[in-house]
Amino acid sequence: MICIFGLGNPGIKYKKTRHNAGFRVIDLLAKEYGIRMRGSKFQAKIGEGRVHGKKILLVKPQTYMNDSGWSVSAILDYFKVPTRDMVVLVDDMDLTLGAIRIRENGGAGGHNGLKSIISYLKNEDFTRIRIGIGKPEGCKGAVPHVLGKFSGDEGTLAEQTFMRCARAIDCLIGEGAAMAQSKYNG
C-alpha cells in the first residue's frame, strides 16, 4: 500500500490558502481516481483505491498543519505501512510558484508539518513532494503569506501546478520515485 498524505489546515477558513496545497492535490487525485474521501477515527479524511495495480490510501489529516504527525503516525501504524511507502505533499515558500520538488528522504527544511511528522515517526525516510508557493512580497510575513489565498494569475498558475503535481504522483505510483523526479522536478 502507498499512503499519500496531503497536508493543510481543516475548515472553510483555510480552504483555498497557499498552506492547503497538499489538500488541493489530494482532492484532484480523489476525483481523478474516483476515490471517495471519508472521515476516520484518525482525525483525517481517508480514501482507498487501486492505481496502476497498487493499493493506495489518500489522506488529508484534519489536525492542524503543525500537528500532522499525530494523524500520519496513527494511520501508518494502523495500516502497517512502512515510511518508505509514504508520500507527503506540502507547500514550500522556498520554491517559486509553479515549481515542484520530489525527494525520497531528507529533513523538514523549516516546514512545521514535516517537523511534526519527523518528530512523531522518528524517521526521515519518506518521499516528500514540495509544492512551490513563492515567497511573500514586500514586508508581508510568512504566516499571512501561507494563510493567504492565491490571487488572479497566481491562482491560475497554482491550479496548473496542482495538476502537474497530481500527474507526478501518478508517475511515482506507476513508474517509481526516480522516474517522477526525472520528469517533474523543477
Contacts of 124 (CB under 8 A, 6+ apart): 105, 106, 107, 118
Q: Could you tell me the CA-to-CA distances from 125 to 7, 106, 116 in Å, in that order?
A: 17, 7, 14
- Predicted confidence at residue 74, as pLDDT, reads 96
- 60 contacts 113 by C-beta, under 8 angstroms: no
Query: Which is it for strands 100-103 and 127-132: parallel, antiparallel or unpaired?
Result: antiparallel
Residue whose entry in the numeric block shows the C-alpha cell 475548515: 11
What pLDDT was estimated at residue 144? Answer: 86
Nearest to 72 by CA among 123, 24, 140: 123
- In order of start, what are the domains of the chain with their CATH numbers? 2-184 (3.40.50.1470)
Taking 80 as the threshold, does the pLDDT of residue 45 lie above it?
yes
State which amino acid sits at residue 28: L
What's the pLDDT band for 32 if we cut at 50, 70, 90?
very high
Q: How confident is the model at residue 44 (pLDDT cuts 50, 70, 90)?
A: very high
Q: How many CB atoms lie within 10 A of CB 84?
A: 13
pLDDT at 29: 98
Q: Catalytic pick from 19, 52, 111, 145? A: 19
Write out pLDDT tens, residues 56-84. Answer: 999 999 999 999 999 999 999 999 999 99
Given a cut of 80, whether residue 23 has pLDDT beyond it is: yes
What angle, rounded to 10 degrees, do the helices at 68-79 and 112-121 form? 40
Closest CA to 75 of 101, 108, 105, 40: 40
What pLDDT does residue 135 have? 86
pLDDT digits (tens, 9 = 90+) for 156-182: 999 999 999 999 999 999 999 999 999
**99-152: per-residue pLDDT in tens?**
999 999 888 777 889 999 999 999 999 999 999 999 887 767 888 889 999 988
Asked if residue 15 has pLDDT above 80, the reply is yes
Strands 127-132 and 2-6: unpaired
| Whether residue 145 lies in the annotated active site | no
- Distances in Å between the Cα of 65 and the Cα atoms of 1, 85, 114, 183 are 24, 21, 9, 28
**Better pLDDT: 40 or 78:** 78
- Give φ, ψ of 178 to 5 degrees: -60, -40
What pLDDT score does 139 carry? 62
